[in-house]
Amino acid sequence: MKILVVNAGSSSLKFKLFNLDPIDEASLSQMPPSEALATDPKLMVLLSGVVERVGTPHAQLTYKNHVAQTECHTQAEAASSTDALSVVLNALTTDPHAVIDSLDEVGAVGHRIAHGGDVFGCSVEVDDGVIEVIERLSDLAPLHNPSALAVLRRCQELLPHALEVTAFDTAFHQTMPARNYVYPIPYRYYAEKGIRRFGFHGMSHKYVSRRAAEFLGKSPRDLKMITCHLGAGASLTAIDHGISMDTTMGYTPLDGIMMGTRSGSVDPAIITAIMEMDDLTPAELDAMLNRESGLLGVSGVSGDLRALKEVIKTGDEQAELAYDIFLTSIRRMIGAYFFELAGVDVIVCTAGVGENDPYARRLIFRGLEPFGIQIDQERNMVTGKGDRRISTDESTVDVLVIPTDEEAEIARDVAFIAAGVDISDPWAVM
Protein backbone atom coordinates (compact mmCIF):
# COMPACT_ATOMS: atom_id res chain seq x y z
CA MET A 1 0.00 0.00 0.00
CA LYS A 2 1.14 3.52 -0.81
CA ILE A 3 0.74 6.06 2.03
CA LEU A 4 0.81 9.77 1.24
CA VAL A 5 1.58 12.07 4.18
CA VAL A 6 0.79 15.77 3.80
CA ASN A 7 1.64 18.64 6.13
CA ALA A 8 -0.21 21.82 5.18
CA GLY A 9 1.08 25.06 6.67
CA SER A 10 0.10 28.67 6.10
CA SER A 11 2.35 29.08 3.06
CA SER A 12 3.72 25.63 2.29
CA LEU A 13 2.72 22.01 1.76
CA LYS A 14 5.22 19.30 2.68
CA PHE A 15 4.66 15.75 1.51
CA LYS A 16 6.12 12.25 1.51
CA LEU A 17 4.93 9.17 -0.33
CA PHE A 18 5.73 5.89 1.40
CA ASN A 19 5.39 2.28 0.32
CA LEU A 20 4.23 -0.15 3.00
CA ASP A 21 5.47 -3.65 2.29
CA PRO A 22 2.37 -5.81 1.46
CA ILE A 23 3.68 -8.75 3.49
CA ASP A 24 4.31 -6.47 6.45
CA GLU A 25 0.86 -4.94 6.11
CA ALA A 26 -0.76 -8.38 6.19
CA SER A 27 1.30 -9.58 9.15
CA LEU A 28 0.44 -6.48 11.21
CA SER A 29 -3.27 -7.22 10.90
CA GLN A 30 -2.75 -10.74 12.26
CA MET A 31 -0.68 -9.79 15.32
CA PRO A 32 -2.01 -9.00 18.78
CA PRO A 33 -1.96 -5.20 19.26
CA SER A 34 0.91 -5.25 21.77
CA GLU A 35 3.07 -7.33 19.42
CA ALA A 36 2.15 -5.25 16.35
CA LEU A 37 2.99 -1.98 18.09
CA ALA A 38 6.38 -3.32 19.12
CA THR A 39 7.34 -3.68 15.45
CA ASP A 40 8.41 -1.08 12.92
CA PRO A 41 6.34 -1.32 9.74
CA LYS A 42 8.58 -1.55 6.68
CA LEU A 43 8.02 1.87 5.15
CA MET A 44 10.13 3.02 2.20
CA VAL A 45 10.12 6.65 1.08
CA LEU A 46 9.37 6.90 -2.64
CA LEU A 47 8.96 10.65 -3.10
CA SER A 48 9.35 13.62 -0.78
CA GLY A 49 9.18 17.35 -1.22
CA VAL A 50 7.47 20.66 -0.58
CA VAL A 51 5.47 23.34 -2.33
CA GLU A 52 6.72 26.65 -0.98
CA ARG A 53 5.50 30.24 -1.15
CA VAL A 54 1.91 29.08 -1.57
CA GLY A 55 -0.40 32.00 -2.25
CA THR A 56 2.21 34.01 -4.14
CA PRO A 57 3.13 34.23 -7.84
CA HIS A 58 6.46 32.65 -6.93
CA ALA A 59 5.24 29.29 -5.64
CA GLN A 60 7.76 26.52 -6.23
CA LEU A 61 7.67 22.74 -6.14
CA THR A 62 10.79 20.91 -4.97
CA TYR A 63 10.92 17.16 -4.58
CA LYS A 64 13.20 14.16 -4.59
CA ASN A 65 12.50 10.81 -6.21
CA HIS A 66 14.15 8.40 -3.76
CA VAL A 67 13.83 5.45 -6.16
CA ALA A 68 15.48 7.06 -9.17
CA GLN A 69 17.65 9.36 -6.99
CA THR A 70 16.58 12.41 -9.00
CA GLU A 71 15.48 15.87 -7.92
CA CYS A 72 13.10 18.42 -9.39
CA HIS A 73 12.78 22.19 -8.87
CA THR A 74 10.06 23.95 -10.78
CA GLN A 75 7.68 26.87 -10.60
CA ALA A 76 4.13 25.97 -9.58
CA GLU A 77 0.72 27.58 -9.74
CA ALA A 78 -0.48 27.36 -6.15
CA ALA A 79 -2.72 30.21 -5.04
CA SER A 80 -4.01 28.09 -2.13
CA SER A 81 -3.17 24.98 -0.14
CA THR A 82 -5.62 22.96 -2.24
CA ASP A 83 -3.86 24.15 -5.40
CA ALA A 84 -0.60 23.01 -3.83
CA LEU A 85 -2.14 19.59 -3.22
CA SER A 86 -3.11 19.34 -6.89
CA VAL A 87 0.49 20.17 -7.82
CA VAL A 88 1.74 17.38 -5.55
CA LEU A 89 -0.73 14.78 -6.80
CA ASN A 90 0.17 15.65 -10.37
CA ALA A 91 3.87 15.19 -9.61
CA LEU A 92 3.25 11.70 -8.20
CA THR A 93 2.16 10.39 -11.59
CA THR A 94 3.89 12.67 -14.12
CA ASP A 95 7.46 12.65 -12.83
CA PRO A 96 9.78 11.27 -15.56
CA HIS A 97 10.49 8.39 -13.20
CA ALA A 98 6.97 8.19 -11.76
CA VAL A 99 6.75 5.96 -8.71
CA ILE A 100 3.04 5.29 -9.27
CA ASP A 101 0.96 5.06 -12.45
CA SER A 102 -2.33 6.17 -10.97
CA LEU A 103 -3.64 7.93 -7.86
CA ASP A 104 -5.68 4.77 -7.29
CA GLU A 105 -2.48 3.27 -5.92
CA VAL A 106 -2.56 5.66 -2.95
CA GLY A 107 -4.33 3.58 -0.33
CA ALA A 108 -4.14 6.01 2.59
CA VAL A 109 -3.42 9.64 3.36
CA GLY A 110 -2.05 10.91 6.67
CA HIS A 111 -2.68 14.54 7.55
CA ARG A 112 -0.67 16.47 10.14
CA ILE A 113 -3.09 18.61 12.15
CA ALA A 114 -1.58 21.22 14.46
CA HIS A 115 -4.35 21.32 17.06
CA GLY A 116 -6.56 18.50 18.30
CA GLY A 117 -7.21 20.01 21.73
CA ASP A 118 -7.76 17.50 24.50
CA VAL A 119 -10.09 15.42 22.34
CA PHE A 120 -7.53 13.17 20.63
CA GLY A 121 -4.75 11.24 22.33
CA CYS A 122 -3.63 9.47 19.15
CA SER A 123 -3.99 9.55 15.38
CA VAL A 124 -7.50 8.65 14.20
CA GLU A 125 -9.41 7.78 11.06
CA VAL A 126 -11.31 10.75 9.67
CA ASP A 127 -15.07 11.02 10.17
CA ASP A 128 -17.53 13.89 10.52
CA GLY A 129 -16.79 14.21 14.25
CA VAL A 130 -13.06 14.60 13.61
CA ILE A 131 -13.68 17.30 11.02
CA GLU A 132 -15.98 19.16 13.42
CA VAL A 133 -13.28 19.24 16.10
CA ILE A 134 -10.64 20.49 13.65
CA GLU A 135 -13.01 23.27 12.58
CA ARG A 136 -13.86 24.18 16.16
CA LEU A 137 -10.19 24.46 17.12
CA SER A 138 -9.18 26.52 14.10
CA ASP A 139 -9.20 29.71 16.17
CA LEU A 140 -6.38 28.23 18.28
CA ALA A 141 -4.28 27.35 15.21
CA PRO A 142 -5.40 29.86 12.56
CA LEU A 143 -2.29 29.42 10.41
CA HIS A 144 -2.51 25.63 10.28
CA ASN A 145 -5.87 23.98 11.02
CA PRO A 146 -7.87 25.74 8.26
CA SER A 147 -5.26 24.94 5.59
CA ALA A 148 -4.95 21.33 6.76
CA LEU A 149 -8.73 20.93 6.77
CA ALA A 150 -9.04 22.32 3.26
CA VAL A 151 -6.42 19.84 2.05
CA LEU A 152 -8.14 16.99 3.90
CA ARG A 153 -11.48 17.74 2.24
CA ARG A 154 -9.85 18.02 -1.16
CA CYS A 155 -8.17 14.63 -0.64
CA GLN A 156 -11.56 13.13 0.15
CA GLU A 157 -12.77 14.40 -3.24
CA LEU A 158 -9.74 13.43 -5.32
CA LEU A 159 -8.89 10.18 -3.51
CA PRO A 160 -12.31 8.84 -2.48
CA HIS A 161 -10.96 5.29 -2.20
CA ALA A 162 -8.19 6.17 0.26
CA LEU A 163 -8.22 5.84 4.03
CA GLU A 164 -7.90 9.33 5.55
CA VAL A 165 -6.09 9.62 8.90
CA THR A 166 -5.44 12.70 11.03
CA ALA A 167 -2.30 12.92 13.19
CA PHE A 168 -2.47 15.65 15.83
CA ASP A 169 0.56 17.56 17.10
CA THR A 170 -1.15 17.87 20.48
CA ALA A 171 -1.99 14.16 20.89
CA PHE A 172 1.31 12.97 22.36
CA HIS A 173 0.99 15.42 25.24
CA GLN A 174 -2.46 14.30 26.39
CA THR A 175 -0.77 12.07 28.98
CA MET A 176 0.40 15.10 30.98
CA PRO A 177 -0.92 15.18 34.56
CA ALA A 178 -3.34 17.98 35.47
CA ARG A 179 -0.71 19.69 37.61
CA ASN A 180 1.22 20.38 34.40
CA TYR A 181 -1.60 21.45 32.10
CA VAL A 182 -3.93 23.50 34.32
CA TYR A 183 -2.84 27.14 34.50
CA PRO A 184 -2.80 28.98 37.87
CA ILE A 185 -5.66 31.28 36.92
CA PRO A 186 -9.29 31.02 38.11
CA TYR A 187 -10.26 27.37 37.59
CA ARG A 188 -13.44 28.29 35.76
CA TYR A 189 -11.39 29.21 32.69
CA TYR A 190 -10.27 25.61 32.44
CA ALA A 191 -13.56 24.02 33.49
CA GLU A 192 -15.82 26.24 31.38
CA LYS A 193 -13.59 27.57 28.60
CA GLY A 194 -11.08 24.76 28.14
CA ILE A 195 -8.03 26.98 28.63
CA ARG A 196 -5.12 24.68 29.44
CA ARG A 197 -1.67 23.66 28.27
CA PHE A 198 -1.89 21.49 25.15
CA GLY A 199 1.68 21.27 23.90
CA PHE A 200 2.80 20.94 20.29
CA HIS A 201 5.50 19.32 18.13
CA GLY A 202 4.06 16.05 19.43
CA MET A 203 4.82 13.95 16.36
CA SER A 204 8.46 15.09 16.48
CA HIS A 205 8.90 14.45 20.22
CA LYS A 206 7.24 11.06 19.87
CA TYR A 207 9.39 10.07 16.89
CA VAL A 208 12.77 11.08 18.32
CA SER A 209 12.06 9.58 21.74
CA ARG A 210 11.26 6.24 20.13
CA ARG A 211 14.27 6.42 17.82
CA ALA A 212 16.55 7.37 20.73
CA ALA A 213 15.47 4.27 22.64
CA GLU A 214 16.10 2.11 19.56
CA PHE A 215 19.55 3.68 19.14
CA LEU A 216 20.41 2.75 22.72
CA GLY A 217 18.96 -0.74 22.37
CA LYS A 218 16.36 -0.08 25.05
CA SER A 219 12.63 0.37 25.41
CA PRO A 220 11.21 3.88 25.89
CA ARG A 221 9.56 2.45 28.99
CA ASP A 222 12.99 2.07 30.59
CA LEU A 223 14.12 5.68 30.10
CA LYS A 224 13.67 9.18 31.48
CA MET A 225 14.22 11.55 28.60
CA ILE A 226 14.26 15.23 27.62
CA THR A 227 13.64 15.87 23.93
CA CYS A 228 14.66 19.24 22.50
CA HIS A 229 12.99 20.26 19.23
CA LEU A 230 15.08 23.31 18.37
CA GLY A 231 14.12 25.10 15.18
CA ALA A 232 12.41 28.36 14.23
CA GLY A 233 9.66 27.01 16.45
CA ALA A 234 11.13 25.32 19.49
CA SER A 235 9.93 23.23 22.41
CA LEU A 236 11.22 20.79 25.00
CA THR A 237 9.38 17.81 26.45
CA ALA A 238 9.94 15.80 29.62
CA ILE A 239 9.23 12.13 28.87
CA ASP A 240 8.95 9.63 31.71
CA HIS A 241 9.18 6.02 30.55
CA GLY A 242 7.66 6.78 27.14
CA ILE A 243 4.98 9.17 28.40
CA SER A 244 4.92 12.94 27.91
CA MET A 245 4.82 14.48 31.37
CA ASP A 246 5.46 18.13 30.61
CA THR A 247 6.23 20.34 27.63
CA THR A 248 7.15 23.97 27.11
CA MET A 249 4.54 25.06 24.56
CA GLY A 250 1.15 25.71 26.12
CA TYR A 251 -2.33 26.87 25.14
CA THR A 252 -0.71 27.97 21.89
CA PRO A 253 2.77 27.48 20.37
CA LEU A 254 3.70 30.96 21.65
CA ASP A 255 4.45 29.70 25.17
CA GLY A 256 7.76 28.27 26.33
CA ILE A 257 11.32 29.04 25.31
CA MET A 258 12.44 31.89 23.07
CA MET A 259 12.04 31.12 19.36
CA GLY A 260 12.84 32.61 15.97
CA THR A 261 10.08 35.23 15.96
CA ARG A 262 8.02 34.13 19.00
CA SER A 263 8.68 35.59 22.42
CA GLY A 264 8.08 32.45 24.43
CA SER A 265 7.04 32.92 28.05
CA VAL A 266 7.06 36.50 29.34
CA ASP A 267 5.69 38.25 32.43
CA PRO A 268 1.91 38.54 31.78
CA ALA A 269 1.93 42.10 33.11
CA ILE A 270 4.11 43.08 30.15
CA ILE A 271 1.20 42.27 27.85
CA THR A 272 -1.20 44.78 29.35
CA ALA A 273 1.58 47.35 29.80
CA ILE A 274 2.55 47.25 26.13
CA MET A 275 -1.08 47.38 25.03
CA GLU A 276 -1.50 50.58 27.02
CA MET A 277 1.86 52.10 26.00
CA ASP A 278 1.35 51.64 22.27
CA ASP A 279 -2.47 51.50 22.18
CA LEU A 280 -2.39 48.05 20.58
CA THR A 281 -5.39 45.87 19.87
CA PRO A 282 -5.26 42.21 20.98
CA ALA A 283 -4.67 41.18 17.35
CA GLU A 284 -1.79 43.64 16.96
CA LEU A 285 -0.19 42.47 20.18
CA ASP A 286 -0.61 38.83 19.15
CA ALA A 287 1.13 39.58 15.85
CA MET A 288 3.98 41.32 17.68
CA LEU A 289 4.55 38.43 20.09
CA ASN A 290 4.35 35.79 17.35
CA ARG A 291 6.06 37.45 14.40
CA GLU A 292 8.21 40.32 15.69
CA SER A 293 9.71 38.93 18.91
CA GLY A 294 12.15 36.17 19.84
CA LEU A 295 15.53 36.22 18.11
CA LEU A 296 14.25 38.74 15.59
CA GLY A 297 12.84 41.08 18.20
CA VAL A 298 15.89 41.18 20.44
CA SER A 299 18.51 41.24 17.69
CA GLY A 300 16.66 43.56 15.34
CA VAL A 301 18.32 41.57 12.55
CA SER A 302 16.85 38.14 11.94
CA GLY A 303 14.88 35.29 13.45
CA ASP A 304 17.14 32.79 11.66
CA LEU A 305 19.96 31.61 13.89
CA ARG A 306 22.24 31.04 10.89
CA ALA A 307 21.93 34.66 9.79
CA LEU A 308 22.28 35.85 13.37
CA LYS A 309 25.58 34.03 13.83
CA GLU A 310 27.02 35.76 10.78
CA VAL A 311 26.10 39.13 12.26
CA ILE A 312 27.61 38.15 15.64
CA LYS A 313 30.96 37.66 13.87
CA THR A 314 30.96 41.39 13.10
CA GLY A 315 30.69 42.19 16.81
CA ASP A 316 26.99 43.01 16.96
CA GLU A 317 26.28 42.92 20.72
CA GLN A 318 22.50 42.97 20.34
CA ALA A 319 22.59 39.91 18.08
CA GLU A 320 24.88 38.18 20.56
CA LEU A 321 22.46 38.99 23.38
CA ALA A 322 19.59 37.41 21.44
CA TYR A 323 21.68 34.27 20.94
CA ASP A 324 22.56 34.13 24.65
CA ILE A 325 18.92 34.51 25.72
CA PHE A 326 17.90 31.70 23.35
CA LEU A 327 20.53 29.28 24.66
CA THR A 328 19.84 30.23 28.28
CA SER A 329 16.12 29.55 27.88
CA ILE A 330 16.95 26.04 26.64
CA ARG A 331 19.39 25.34 29.50
CA ARG A 332 16.85 26.63 32.02
CA MET A 333 14.19 24.17 30.83
CA ILE A 334 16.62 21.25 30.68
CA GLY A 335 17.45 21.97 34.31
CA ALA A 336 13.79 22.24 35.28
CA TYR A 337 12.90 18.96 33.59
CA PHE A 338 15.97 17.25 35.07
CA PHE A 339 14.54 17.92 38.52
CA GLU A 340 10.92 17.27 37.51
CA LEU A 341 11.83 13.80 36.27
CA ALA A 342 14.12 13.21 39.29
CA GLY A 343 17.02 12.46 37.00
CA VAL A 344 17.47 11.95 33.26
CA ASP A 345 18.90 9.09 31.22
CA VAL A 346 18.82 10.67 27.77
CA ILE A 347 18.69 14.15 26.22
CA VAL A 348 17.83 14.35 22.52
CA CYS A 349 18.54 17.29 20.19
CA THR A 350 16.54 17.53 16.97
CA ALA A 351 15.17 19.92 14.29
CA GLY A 352 17.16 22.60 12.44
CA VAL A 353 19.32 23.95 15.28
CA GLY A 354 19.35 20.76 17.33
CA GLU A 355 20.53 18.66 14.39
CA ASN A 356 22.84 21.04 12.55
CA ASP A 357 24.42 23.52 14.96
CA PRO A 358 27.29 21.97 16.96
CA TYR A 359 28.28 25.37 18.35
CA ALA A 360 24.83 25.90 19.88
CA ARG A 361 24.85 22.36 21.31
CA ARG A 362 28.29 22.95 22.86
CA LEU A 363 27.10 26.11 24.59
CA ILE A 364 23.83 24.55 25.77
CA PHE A 365 25.65 21.74 27.58
CA ARG A 366 28.76 23.63 28.64
CA GLY A 367 29.60 23.28 32.32
CA LEU A 368 26.98 20.60 33.07
CA GLU A 369 29.50 17.92 33.99
CA PRO A 370 28.38 17.98 37.69
CA PHE A 371 25.00 16.73 36.44
CA GLY A 372 26.51 13.77 34.61
CA ILE A 373 26.45 15.46 31.18
CA GLN A 374 29.77 15.26 29.35
CA ILE A 375 29.95 16.24 25.68
CA ASP A 376 32.57 14.72 23.38
CA GLN A 377 33.54 17.71 21.24
CA GLU A 378 34.82 15.58 18.35
CA ARG A 379 31.55 13.67 18.18
CA ASN A 380 29.62 16.92 18.53
CA MET A 381 31.36 18.43 15.50
CA VAL A 382 30.59 15.50 13.20
CA THR A 383 28.15 16.53 10.49
CA GLY A 384 25.65 14.19 8.92
CA LYS A 385 22.03 13.18 8.94
CA GLY A 386 22.16 9.97 10.93
CA ASP A 387 21.32 9.21 14.55
CA ARG A 388 24.41 9.76 16.69
CA ARG A 389 25.74 10.14 20.22
CA ILE A 390 27.57 13.35 21.11
CA SER A 391 28.24 12.57 24.78
CA THR A 392 31.35 10.80 26.02
CA ASP A 393 31.34 7.12 26.91
CA GLU A 394 31.76 8.16 30.56
CA SER A 395 28.75 10.50 30.56
CA THR A 396 25.99 9.19 32.82
CA VAL A 397 23.45 11.00 30.62
CA ASP A 398 23.38 9.98 26.95
CA VAL A 399 23.14 13.07 24.73
CA LEU A 400 21.98 12.18 21.22
CA VAL A 401 21.28 13.93 17.94
CA ILE A 402 18.28 12.32 16.26
CA PRO A 403 17.05 13.88 12.99
CA THR A 404 13.30 14.23 13.27
CA ASP A 405 10.89 12.77 10.73
CA GLU A 406 7.31 13.71 11.57
CA GLU A 407 6.06 12.32 8.26
CA ALA A 408 7.55 8.90 9.02
CA GLU A 409 5.86 8.89 12.43
CA ILE A 410 2.53 9.80 10.83
CA ALA A 411 2.98 7.08 8.19
CA ARG A 412 3.69 4.57 10.97
CA ASP A 413 0.40 5.47 12.69
CA VAL A 414 -1.44 5.24 9.36
CA ALA A 415 0.03 1.78 8.73
CA PHE A 416 -1.22 0.56 12.12
CA ILE A 417 -4.69 2.04 11.63
CA ALA A 418 -4.93 0.57 8.12
CA ALA A 419 -4.08 -2.83 9.58
CA GLY A 420 -6.79 -2.48 12.21
CA VAL A 421 -4.36 -2.10 15.13
CA ASP A 422 -5.66 -0.15 18.14
CA ILE A 423 -3.14 2.61 18.89
CA SER A 424 -5.15 4.42 21.55
CA ASP A 425 -3.16 3.08 24.54
CA PRO A 426 -0.11 5.37 24.95
CA TRP A 427 1.81 2.67 26.81
CA ALA A 428 1.19 0.09 24.08
CA VAL A 429 2.20 2.44 21.26
CA MET A 430 5.66 2.89 22.73
- Mind telling me the catalytic residues? 169
Please, are residues 185 and 169 in contact by the beta-carbon 8 Å criterion? no
Q: How many beta carbons lie within 10 A of that of residue 251, not counting itself?
A: 15
Q: Assign 3-class secondary structure to the chain.
A: CEEEEEEECCCCEEEEEEEECHHHHHHHHHCCHHHHHCCCCCEEEEEEEEEECCCCCCCEEEEEECCCCEEEEEECCCCCHHHHHHHHHHHHHHCCCCCCCCHHHEEEEEEEECCCCCCCCCCEECCHHHHHHHHHCHHHCCCCHHHHHHHHHHHHHHCCCCEEEEEECCHHHHHCCHHHHCCCCCCHHHHCCCCCCCCCCHHHHHHHHHHHHHHCCCCHHHCEEEEEEECCCEEEEEEECCEEEEECCCCCCCCCCCCCCCCCCCCHHHHHHHHHHHCCCHHHHHHHHHHCCHHHHHHCCCCCHHHHHHHHCCCCHHHHHHHHHHHHHHHHHHHHHHHHCCCCCEEEEEHHHHHHCHHHHHHHHCCCHHHCCCECHHHHHCCCCCCEECECCCCCCEEEECCCCHHHHHHHHHHHHHCCCCCCCHHHHC
